[in-house]
Amino acid sequence: MQIIVDCIVNKDNNPRERNLEAIKKAGIEDLIIQRQNSKKIAHNKFIVLLKDDKPIEVWTGSTNITDGGIFGQSNVGHIVRDPEIAAAYFDYWQVLSEDPDLKRLRDWTEKNTPVLCGQSTPPAIQPIFSPRDSLEALECYAQLMDQAKQSVFLTAAFGVTQQLREIFEKEKPYLRYLLLEKENAKIETINRNPSNRVAAGAYLGKDGWGQWLNEKLTGFNQHVRFVHTKYMLIDPLSNHPIVITGSANFSESSTNQNDENMMVIRGDTRVADIYLTEFMRLFTHFRFRGKVQEHDETVHKSAEPLPKKLYLRDSDRWARRFYVKDSPREKERLFFS
């Protein structure tokens, strides 16, 4: 076993010092290859399994191998049991193990993992490695998103880059869902569009919601506390879904500066179902908590007494909004029915 570790020298020597300390404590110095020549961040998280010295499987995703990555945030770990895909990752790993500079690595990723966005018959699973010479990969994701027929789902830990934001701001006849680590001013236009559904990380406060169980965070993470995943689902309930997943945030730096890996998975309805189920689990979880926080803020600003405990109405009034023609609620009902 060998492990490539982020040991880039920077202003704060972070995470270099913490990594080297952990390696020494574990006594695994002989297993480590230091990655020092990455331009910005050595951000990959993947493991290749070899059998008889041949790659047979790869595990990849957004999950840092830390307490915070495993227990403190939403994350993805995805196993692909395909020797061809595993071989592509192993080839990439071998290049990284030589600690290449930016130019050499860019030349390799462009040559060995070309973006096949416009190809008429693209492969079922297509790895895309970074850093790259251009933003072609990011532009491809935006193009695929724009070509959706039924729905789009996106997780964004660090906001929405311009290429994708422009697609969210277009009018579409279907719903697009966005799950964020936290909201910011740049997504106000996205939020105002009735075709977009937006939720951000949050947990229940105390105040007027004392009937709910008080929640708290693990404390493992300071920078990203809720949503760390990086995946996009395009028409996941169709017969031809697209799942884009990996280590790379959908950003310019992740495309042309960082060490990153992504997979574009086409036509696998089971994989799309699993990702969509997880997305909606998190989306409904955080959307409810966001509404609770909005409610509490409104009460505080109005200086009115805190409301009494709320209970479910014993009528069908709650369902009427799902039958308002062409409303977001109706589109949501029809999509998931």
Q: Domain for residue 260, yes or no?
A: yes
Q: Domain for residue 9, yes or no?
A: no
Number of domains in the chain: 1
Q: Domain for residue 23, yes or no?
A: no
Structure tokens given for 8? 């880039």
Query: What domain range includes position 114?
Result: 37-306+317-336
What are the backbone angles phi and psi of residue 92, rounded to the nearest 5°?
-65, -45
* pLDDT averaged per 10 residues, the chain (length 337): 86 83 88 87 95 96 92 95 97 96 95 84 92 95 95 92 92 93 78 88 68 77 89 96 96 94 96 97 89 59 54 82 90 90
- Tell me the whole-structure pTM to 2 decimals: 0.89
Residue 175 sits in a domain whose CATH number is 3.30.870.10
Q: Give the residue among 197, 194, 196, 216 at the shortest CA–CA distance from 206.
A: 216
Q: Domain for residue 246, yes or no?
A: yes
Q: What is the pLDDT of residues 185-235, one digit of tens each?
A: 677 878 888 889 999 888 776 655 555 667 778 889 888 888 999 999 999
- pLDDT value, residue 1: 85
Residues in CB range of 203: below 8 A, 6 or more apart: 215, 216, 217, 289
* Distance, C-alpha 217 to centroid of its chain: 20
- pLDDT value, residue 311: 67
Q: Domain for residue 32, yes or no?
A: no
- pLDDT value, residue 252: 94
Composition of the chain by helix, strand, coil, percent to 5? 40, 20, 40
Q: Domain for residue 249, yes or no?
A: yes
